[in-house]
Amino acid sequence: MTSLNDIERYWFTNLNKTDKKYITDHPDPSHMIYYLQRGLKFDHALRLGYMDSVREDIEVEQNLNKANNNVKNNLLL
């Protein structure tokens, strides 16, 4: 039986060649790597990582809009 430490340590070596290439060519695979290190299959980690990335982008966009509105409101004071 493999322990959690083994999964976290060997997640990359356990991938097939195509999956390794996808990760090494990706500009920021950090969301997906998080799930791979926890033992999820590549396809599932890819989906969850994508969803996390989209959520993060939406949150950043909302925060930028709030900041821009705050700047506009402060300039009107």
* Of residues 45, 38, 48, 50, the one with CA closest to residue 19: 45
Of residues 57 and 2, more confidence is placed in: 57
Under 8 Å between Cβ of 36 and 42: yes
Q: What is the mean pLDDT of residues 34-63?
A: 96
Return the number of other C-beta atoms located less than 10 Å from residue 20's C-beta.
14
- Whether the model clears a pTM of 0.85, i.e. scores above it, the answer is no
Of residues 10 and 55, more confidence is placed in: 55
**Confidence check: pLDDT of 1 > 60:** no
CA-CA distance, 15 to 45, in Å (whole number)? 12
- pLDDT digits 0-9 by tens, 11-36: 899 899 999 999 999 999 999 999 99
